[in-house]
Amino acid sequence: MSINGLPLKFEILNWYAMLLKGAKHQTNSSPPTMASYSPLGDFSWICVGEHDLASFCIQRTIIDGLNLLFLCVFYLSLFISLIKKNSIWRSDRRDWVTIVVSICCVLSSITYFSNGLWILISKISKSNQLSWLVFFLKGLVWISFAVSLLVKRSKWIKILNSVWWVSSCLLVSALNIEMLIRVHSTHTFDMVTWPLSFLLLFCAIRNLGYFVHQQTPDSSQSEPLLVQKTENIQPGLDHSTFLSKLTFSWVNPILRLGYSKPLNLEDIPSPVPEDEANLAYQKFAHTWDVLLRDKSSNNTKNLVVWAIARVYLKENIHIAVCAFLRTISVVASPLILYAFVNYSNSNEEDLHQGLSILGCLILAKVVESLSQRHWFFNSRRSGMRMRSALMVAVYQKQLKLSSKGRRRHSTGEIVNYIAVDAYRMGEFPWWFHTTWTCGLQLFLAIGVLFGVVGLGALPGLVPLLICGLLNVPFAKAIKKCQSEFMIAQDERLRSTSEILNSMKIIKLQSWEDKFKTLVETLRAREFKWLAEAQFKKAFGTLIYWMSPTIISSVIFLGCILFKSAPLNAGTIFTVLATLRTMGEPVRMIPEALSVMMQVKVSFDRLNAFLLDDELKSDEIRRNTKQQSDNKVDIQAGNFSWDQESLTPTLKDLNLGIRWGHKVAVCGTVGSGKSSLLYAILGEIPKLSGTVTVRGRIAYVSQTSWIQSGTIRDNILYGKPMDELRYADAIKVCALDKDISGFSHGDLTEIGQRGINMSGGQKQRIQLARAVYSDADIYLLDDPFSAVDAHTAAVLFNDCVMTALKLKTVILVTHQVEFLSAVDKILVMEGGQITQSGSFEDLLTSGTAFEQLVNAHRDAITVLDINNEKLGESENVVTVHPDKPHGFSLAKESNEVEMSNKGLPGVQLTQEEEKEIGDVGWKPFWDYISVSNGSFFLCVALLSQTAFVVFQASSTYWLALAIQIPKISSSMLIGVYTVISFLSAVFVYFRSLFSAHLGLKASKAFFSCLTNAIFNAPMLFFDSTPVGRILTRASSDMSILDFDIPFSILFVASAGLEVITWIGIMASVTWQVLIVAILAMVATKYIQDYYLASARELIRINGTTKAPIMNYAAETSLGVVTIRAFNMVDRFFQNYLKLIDTDARLFFYSNASMEWLVLRIEVLQNFTLFTAAFLLVLLPKGYVAPGLVGLSLSYALTLTGTQIFVTRWFCNLSNYIISVERIKQFIHIPSEPPAVVEDKRPPSSWPSKGRIELQALKIRYRPSAPLVLKGITCTFKEGNRVGVVGRTGSGKTTLISALFRLVEPASGEILIDGLDICSMGLKDLRMKLSIIPQEPTLFKGSVRSNLDPLGLYSDDEIWKALEKCQLKTTISSLPNLLDSSVSDEGENWSAGQRQLFCLGRVLLKRNRILVLDEATACIDSATDAILQKIIRQEFSECTVITVAHRVPTVIDSDMVMVLSDGKLLEYDEPSILVETSSAFSKLVAEYWSSCRRNSLPKF
As a whole-number percent, the residues of the chain with pLDDT over 70 amount to 82
Concatenated DSSP letters for 1115-1165?
A: HHHTHHHHHHTT-HHHHHHHHHHHHHHHHHHHHHHHHHHHHHHHHHHHHHH
User: Which residues, 6+ apart, have CB-to-CB distance to 436 below 8 Å?
Assistant: 320, 323
Do the Cβ atoms of 632 and 656 come closer than 8 Å? yes
Span 1268-1287, mean pLDDT?
83
Highest mean pLDDT among 310-319, 416-425, 816-825, 1030-1039: 310-319
Q: What is the mean pLDDT of the chain?
A: 77
Are 578 and 330 contacting, i.e. CB atoms less than 8 angstroms apart? no
The tally of CA atoms less than 13 A away on the side-chain side of residue 675 is 29
The reported pLDDT for the residue numbered 82 is 64
Q: DSSP per residue over 1290-1318, as a string? A: SHHHHHHHHTTSS-EEEEEEEETTEEGGG
Q: If you average pLDDT over residues 1043-1070, what whole number do you get? A: 83
Q: Kindly state the DSSP code that residue 1276 receives in the 8-state scheme.
A: -
1348: confidence class by pLDDT, cuts 50, 70, 90: confident
Provide the pLDDT confidence category of residue 377 given band limits of 50, 70 and 90.
very high
Q: pLDDT tens across 610-636, in order?
A: 888 887 766 667 665 556 667 788 888
Res. 297 pLDDT band, cuts 50 70 90 = low
Burial of 233 (C-beta count, 10 Å sphere; 0-12/13-18/19+):
middle
For residue 32, the model assigns a pLDDT of 40
Q: Is the dihedral of CA 944, 945, 946, 951 positive or negative?
A: positive
- CA distances for 1415 relative to 509, 515, 813, 1409, 1448, angstroms: 19, 27, 13, 14, 9
Round to whole Å and give the CA distance between 1218 and 1294: 39
Name the more confident of 1357 and 18: 1357
Using left for φ > 0, alpha for ψ between -120 and 50, and beta otherwise, residue 333 falls in alpha
Closest-CA residue to 1026 (of 1339, 1335, 757, 752):
752
CA dist., res. 1422 & res. 389, Å (int):
50
Whether 861 has a pLDDT exceeding 80, the answer reads no
Please check whether residue 619 is in contact with residue 408, taking contact to mean a CB–CB distance below 8 angstroms.
Answer: no
Contact in structure between 866 and 1474 (CB atoms under 8 Å): yes
**82 in Cβ contact with 243 (< 8 Å):** no
CB neighbour burial string for 1097-1124, b if at least 16 within 10 angstroms, e if fewer: bbbbbbbbbbbbbbbbbbbbbbbbbbbb
Burial (CB < 10 A; 0-12, 13-18, 19+), residue 219, is exposed
pLDDT at res. 701: 86
Q: What is the model's pLDDT at position 984?
A: 86
Q: What φ, ψ does residue 679 adopt, rounded to 5°?
A: -65, -40
Q: Is 133 or 889 the better-scoring residue by pLDDT? A: 133
Most confident of 35-49, 974-988, 1273-1287: 974-988
CB-CB neighbours of 1368 under 10 Å:
10
Q: Residue 186 and residue 182: Cα distance in Å, rounded?
A: 10
How many C-beta atoms surround the C-beta of residue 1436 within 10 A?
A: 10
Residue 521 has pLDDT above 80, yes or no: yes
What is the average pLDDT across 938-956?
A: 88
Please provide the size of the chain in residues.
Answer: 1498
Band of the pLDDT at 322, cuts 50, 70, 90?
Answer: very high
Report residue 299's pLDDT band, with 50, 70 and 90 as the boundaries. Answer: low
Q: What's the CA gap between 652 and 968, in Å, rounded?
A: 98
Closest CA to 1042 of 533, 1397, 351, 552: 533
pLDDT for res 902: 38
Instruction: Convert the pLDDT of each residue in 583-601 to its tens digit.
Output: 778 777 777 877 888 888 8
Using a cut of 0.85, tell me whether the model's pTM lies above it. Answer: no
Q: Which residues pair with 690 in a beta bridge?
A: 635
Helix, strand, or coil (residue 876) = helix
Element (H, E) at 448: helix 428-453
DSSP 821-841: GSSEEEEEETTEEEEEE-HHH
Phi, psi angles (nearest 5°) of residue 1311? -120, 120
Cβ-in-10-Å burial (0-12, 13-18, 19+) of 55 comes to middle
CA neighbor of 537 nearest in space, from 596, 580, 477, 598: 477
**CB contact burial 1138-1148 (16+ within 10 A = b; e otherwise):** bbbbbbbbbbb
pLDDT for residue 931 is more than 50: yes
Angle at which helices 1420-1433 and 847-865 pack, to 10 degrees?
Answer: 60
Question: Which residue type, as a one-letter code, is found at position 624?
Answer: T
**Confidence band, pLDDT 50/70/90 cuts, at residue 878:** very low
Q: How much is the average pLDDT of 1351-1355?
A: 79
DSSP string, 1390-1427: HHHHHHHHHHHHHHH--SEEEEESTTTTS-HHHHHHHH
Mean pLDDT to the nearest integer, 532-545? 82
Write down the pLDDT at residue 187.
Answer: 66
Element (H, E) at 1466: strand 1462-1467
More confident: 190 or 1282: 1282
Specify the pLDDT at position 891.
Answer: 33
Whether the Cβ atoms of residue 1411 and residue 1440 lie closer than 8 Å to each other? yes
384/830: higher pLDDT: 384
pLDDT of amino acid 325: 92
Greatest mean pLDDT range, 210-214, 665-669, 1307-1311: 1307-1311
- The pLDDT tens digits for 229-257 are 333 344 467 777 788 888 888 888 888 88
Q: What are phi and psi of 662, to 5 degrees?
A: -105, 115
Please check whether residue 1443 is in contact with residue 1284, taking contact to mean a CB–CB distance below 8 angstroms.
Answer: yes
Would you call 856 exposed, middle or buried from its count of C-beta atoms within 10 A (0-12, 13-18, 19+)?
Answer: buried
Local confidence band at 1496 (pLDDT 50, 70, 90 cut-offs): very low
CA distance 213 to 215: 6
The whole-angstrom separation of Cα 550 and Cα 463 is 7
pLDDT in tens, 769-792: 899 888 888 888 888 877 767 778
* Chain segment 1371-1416, per-residue pLDDT in tens: 777 777 777 777 667 767 767 777 778 888 888 778 888 887 666 5
Q: Is the pLDDT of residue 1322 over 70?
A: yes
CB of 1414 closer than 8 Å to CB of 1439: no
pLDDT at 18: 36
Q: Is the pLDDT of residue 1047 over 60?
A: yes
pLDDT at 535: 86
Per-residue pLDDT band at 326 (split at 50, 70, 90): very high
- What is the full DSSP assignment across 342-368? HHHH-SS--HHHHHHHHHHHHHHHHHH
**Does pLDDT of 886 surpass 50?**
no
Residue 129 has pLDDT above 80, yes or no: no
Mode of pairing for the β-strands spanning 686-693 and 621-622: parallel
The answer to whether residues 679 and 650 touch, using CB atoms and an 8 Å cutoff, is yes
By the 10 Å C-beta count (0-12 exposed, 13-18 middle, 19+ buried), 409 is classed as buried
d(CA 356, CA 358): 5
Does residue 1271 sit in helix, strand or coil? Answer: strand
- pLDDT at position 494, please? 83
Amino acid at 683: E
Tell me the one-letter amino acid at 813. Answer: T
